[in-house]
Structure formats: C-alpha cells, structure tokens
Amino acid sequence: MFDTATTQVIEPVPPQPPARRRTRGLRVLFTGLLTLLLGGTALVAIEPLRRPLPAPTVTQTLPASTIIPGTAPAVPWPETGQAALSVEGLGSLGTSGGSNPVPIASVTKVMTAYVILTEHPLDRGEHGPKLTVSAEQAAAYPRELARGESLVAVVAGAVFTERQALQAVLLPSANNMARILAAWDAGSVEAFVAKMNRTAAALGMTDTHYTDPSGLDPDTVSTAVDQVILARKAMQLPAFAEIVAQKKATLPVAGTVRNYNSLVGRDGVVGIKTGSTDEAGGCLVFAAVVKVGGRRITIVGAVLGQPGANTPVQLDRVFRATRPLVRTAAAAITEHPIVRAGDQVATVRGPLGTGTTINAAKDLTVVGWPGMRVRLDVDIPAVPTRLPAEAEHGRVSAVAGEGTPVATALRTGVGLEPPSTWDRIRQHR
C-alpha cells in the first residue's frame, strides 16, 4: 500500500520593476524642470534686448546771448544841436540833442542826389545822360548870386552830364544845379520835391519834410537820426559814394570846384555833405571807413545845428564836433572772441549712462564794441546712439548787434557708443 501525503501550493510573487525605469523617470522630470527654468531665465534676459534704446538727449550749455566784455565807449556828443552815430552792419552808438525836426540847410542835397541816382542810376566812373541849361535857368544866376546863395557858374546852353551836375550839387553845394537837376528829372521843382517826400516816407524818415531841393528854405526840416537813415542808403549807391569822396572836380563853365567838406581824406572820412544857413547853423552828414580784422567797416553819422555867425564859423564848429565822434567810433570797433575752440557748447546723455560733449571746433570772433549784446544760435541735429570722437556735428553762430552772423562747426568730445548687451541685461536684473 502507498502512503498518502498532503501537497502545499505556493502562489508566485510578481517581480519588482527594474530600478533603472524609476531613475529614467526622475531624469525626465528633472530635465523638464531645468528646461522650464532655463527657458524662463532666457526670456528674462532677452526681454530688455527687445526694447529699443532711448535716443540720446542734448542739453545746451552755451547761453542764448552774451555781452562783449569791457567798458562801453563814452561818446563825446556835441554840447549843442543834434547828433547821431551809427556803424553800418552793427547798429547805433547813440544819439544826442533830442528828436525835434530842425532846418538842415544843404544836407538836403543828399536826398536830391539820392532821388536822381535811383531814377537815373550810374556806375562808378559813368557820366550818364546830358542835360542842357536853359536860358531861364541861366538868367536866374545873377539874382541867386545877389542873395548870397551857394552856386556854380552856368550859361544858357551849357551841357552837363548827370555826373557833373551831381558833382556840382554835392561838392561846392550848388543850389542852382539842385534846382536844374530837379526840373530835368521831374519836369518841375515842385514835382521833384513831391518825389523827395515820398522817398523819405518810404525810407521811414518820419520826422523829415522837404520843401525845396537845395535846403535854402528853412521849412525843409529833418533830424540827425533820419539823416543817418538816408546816408546809409545813399552810400550804397556806387556813384554817390564815389562823388562825395572827391576833394575836387572839373565842371563846364565853372572849371575846378572844391568839396566844402574839409574832413574828406582825414580820419578815414569818405563824405558826405555839409550844410549851413543862419537858421540851420553848421550841419554835416558824414561817413568814415575803418579796417577791423580785414573787414571794411563804415561809420555813418550826422551833426546838426552847430552855432556860428557865418558859414566858415559854422562849418568849422561842425567839423570840430564831428572828428571826436569819428575817432571814438573807430577806436571802439574791435574784434572780440566770443567762443573759443574747444569750448563746450552742449552735453549729450545717452542710454544707460553713456554720453559725450559737443564743443566748438574753432574760435568764433565778432566785430563790435564793449557792452554790445551778441546773440548765440546753436544748431545740433539729432544725435545717434553711436558717434565717433571728434566728429563734426552741428554749428554755432554769433551775431553782434545788427551784424552778419559768423559761424563755426561743432565737434564731439569722446566717442559715443551704445551700451553693451551685458550692460543692457544687467541694468534690468
């Protein structure tokens, strides 16, 4: 017989998952987290690089104006009468004696000549058209002479060129030739006087009124200021400036005549016109030329109402009053450096602390006198983020008084560079 035994059944246990699978999962998780972290950091770093850099800002450090240093010139004005003094292209040195219209005697002939030359222009040296003295004009000469007028000898049928007639008016101050010229131009003296007054109004001579072309009539009145306005315009006419600078001329019938203005040729004086009557006293409108820094500067002035018993005394006194004015103005006009080469004109502030300066490339020098205001104008284009050192960028100009602007270029100081990538990232951390 066989023994019977009981059999025990053991259930199988499933194996554990491999350890490497768990490690791989952790690695994937870690890699994902790291990717997210690095991606976020990259986004943070790239974000400021996407933003455009702000444009550099410019701050002007040069003032808008300045005053020429030193003591303003003390002008020796005459004790009596009126006076005005001006420098062409710069402005007025002042006036004295008020602004009431007063008789101006033969200074009137400046307007007579100005109207003739604007109606019948002449170049330097040109004689122009001819005019013939009529029998009536010649017959008036003895009567005019008996009145003690300033004249040139004429006869019926005498022929004068326009230049010769103007020489007679402006040098020996011929009243009769002023009337002859007036009738030649306008048909009558009255019509010509109307032209004179229209011209005065057009020039802004608000305190001037003409009643005759010679100035013999005391009702012809003006002011020193108005006569300077006219003189400045007249001196721009080549033939006028040429004639008033002459000391003498040769005319038909009269022969050689001399300029009553004895200042011509002294102290740079180049004209313009004398005048004297009992009512007007001694009068002079004058121009003088000085050279400053290679430039020719014209001084223009007027002195009216200098006392005296007769023409020689009146003219002597007006000459004595005028010479100090001319000398003072000539001495006062000099060159003045307003901006020096290398002077800072502006600062430039770029993004993230970058920057440079903008400086004058050369000296900027004006002509004027102490106490005169000088206007300064700076023109600087928009500044890019990159600009080399010593690069030309803009201009600065200066204007003294009423003068013409002078200018020089501007240059950068150190180079202007945009901030680096690292600086831009670090700035926004």
Instruction: Give the residue numbers marked as catalytic.
Output: 106, 109, 173
Cβ neighbour number for residue 98 with a 10 Å cutoff: 10
The residue with tokens 């987290």 is 33
Judge residue 12's burial from the number of C-beta atoms within 10 Å of its C-beta, 0-12 exposed, 13-18 middle, 19 or more buried: exposed
247 neighbors 264 (Cβ within 8 angstroms): yes
> Residue 99 — left, alpha, or beta (φ > 0 → left; ψ -120 to 50 → alpha)?
alpha
Query: How far apart are alpha carbons 362 and 54 in whole angstroms?
Result: 31
Say if residue 272 is preceded by a cis peptide, omega within 30 of 0: yes
Task: Return the structure tokens found at 209.
Answer: 């009124």
Query: How far apart are alpha carbons 354 and 348 in whole angstroms?
Result: 8
The residue with tokens 């012809």 is 220
157 neighbors 132 (Cβ within 8 angstroms): yes
By residue count, the chain amounts to 429
Positive or negative, the CA dihedral 283, 285, 291, 292 is: positive
Query: How far apart are alpha carbons 232 and 85 in whole angstroms?
Result: 11
Please give the single-letter amino acid code of residue 88: E
Which residues have a Cβ under 8 Å from the Cβ of 69 and sit 6 or more positions away?
336, 370
Query: How far apart are alpha carbons 142 and 349 in whole angstroms?
Result: 84
Task: Return the structure tokens found at 2.
Answer: 């066989």
The H or E element that residue 362 is part of is: none
Task: Return the structure tokens found at 142.
Answer: 């003895």
Dihedral (C-alpha) 248, 249, 250, 256: value to the nearest 10 degrees?
Answer: -20
| Binding site members for substrate | 273
Query: How far apart are alpha carbons 136 and 133 in whole angstroms?
Result: 8
Task: Pick the closest to residue 113 from 196, 217, 7, 43 (CA basis).
Answer: 196
Judge residue 24's burial from the number of C-beta atoms within 10 Å of its C-beta, 0-12 exposed, 13-18 middle, 19 or more buried: exposed
- In the chain, what is the straight-line distance between the N-terminal and C-terminal CA atoms, in Å? 95
